[in-house]
Amino acid sequence: MDRNVIHLDLDAFFVAVECKNEPRLKGRPLIVGGNSRRGVVAACSYEARRFGVHSAMPMYLALQLCPDAKVISGDVEAYSQNSHLVTEIIADKAPAFEKASIDEFYIDASGMDRFFNTFKWAVELRQQIIKQAGLPISMAMSVNKLVSKVATGELKPNAEKKIPAGDEKDFLAPLAIDKIPMVGKQTASFLYDMGVRTVATLREMPLPFLISAFGKHGISLWNKAHGIDDSPVVSYSEQKSISTESTFETDTIDVKKLKSILIAMVEKVAFQLREQKKLASCITVKIRYANFDTETRQVHVPYTSSDHVILRVVQELFDKLYNRRMLIRLVGVRLSNLVNGNHQISLFDDTEEDINLYEAMDYIKHKHGVDKLVRATTLDVSNRVRMEMNMFKGKVRKNLMS
């Protein structure tokens, strides 16, 4: 039985929500993002895109390209509420669906053709979302998530398209290689240098060559070029929080050491947020004293997944929380009030340098491991702890010999 996988993607979601709340903005070139010169574009209307404006572009450059654009700082709460509304509409109709981000969804409609026309059902669902949520949304259906997502991206806005089973290769063939999901700038640049610019050309590359050039990622490239994708639609469930904590072998009062451990924790949970394409708006710090008294403090912040934002709050909470000057046996950090969404939502406060930095950091951590890239202060403490352990072992050996 052929699979039927539907991809739904809200068109220019942030901009659409702003226009929904303020209809006079419709038809104007709009940019959602940071107002400062060093800010970046979080989203833009299709009217602004005609001038070459796109997300993650520096704001000063976007305004040079489109000086008449209206800049809006953004309302993350409104975006989250509208995303939740669309999620409820889909959940009420779909047999199984996955919320891939704040503005895109997958539905596994396999087997529904035995009862009625699946594509017609998908078209009706799209129209229902447009009517009830008041937001534009595009839809495509194919045999897998890969082809459906590419089709939606190519044909939007206001798109509804079915790629019949067996037509995947023909549909993908003329597209540029950077249209394939997860083909980043580095991979695309490498392929361009070899003269590979379209999916059709990539499909002609021998699998052993791609593996030698890209490792395991080469297998993924080969499969995608051939329209092969067996990844399942993962049923949607709302994750409540991401957290980590550490209990010490020996209770400590070393504040410098404690803060360095908290830095490492923030790096870990923030990376997990970005990997899962989530954002948090509640930050909690927990400490447990040597007498087992446990205290927590939390604060609400604009949705973010940025290390530097979370770290600043965690350090402030710890300073307010740790007031007994007693030995501590445990510290912990929890991020909650999670929403699905790419890092783009927090671009309202980030600069171009911040975004480039996090992309580079996450690339290294994803490829080589989370612990392969850490802040210098964390490394200093790790080395100091290692030295202390070696000294302790030396003392034990000396005592045993005596």
- Quick one: what percent of the chain has pLDDT higher than 90? 57
Would you please indicate which residues are annotated as catalytic (active-site) residues? 104
Of 1-10, 343-352, 387-396, the range with the lowest mean pLDDT is 387-396
Cis preceding-peptide flag for 164 (omega within 30 of 0): no
Thinking of the domain 241-386, which architecture would CATH place it in? 2-Layer Sandwich (3.30)
Judged against a pLDDT cut of 70, whether residue 171 lies above it is answered with yes
CA distance 365 to 342: 18
**Where does the chain hold its CATH 1.10.150.20 domain(s)?**
166-235
Thinking of the domain 1-159, which architecture would CATH place it in? 2-Layer Sandwich (3.30)
Q: Quick one: tokens of 300? A: 């609400």
CA distance 309 to 285: 14
Judged against a pLDDT cut of 90, whether residue 163 lies above it is answered with yes
175-184 residue pLDDT tens:
999 999 878 8
Judged against a pLDDT cut of 80, whether residue 351 lies above it is answered with no
Judged against a pLDDT cut of 80, whether residue 208 lies above it is answered with yes
pTM, to two decimals: 0.70
**Where does the chain hold its CATH 3.30.1490.100 domain(s)?**
241-386
Q: Say which CATH topology domain 166-235 has.
A: DNA polymerase; domain 1 (1.10.150)
Q: How far is CA 145 from the centre of its chain?
A: 17
**Where does the chain hold its CATH 3.30.70.270 domain(s)?**
1-159
Task: Strand 70-72: give its sheet, edge to edge.
Answer: 41-44, 30-33, 70-72
41-56 residue pLDDT tens:
889 999 999 999 998 8
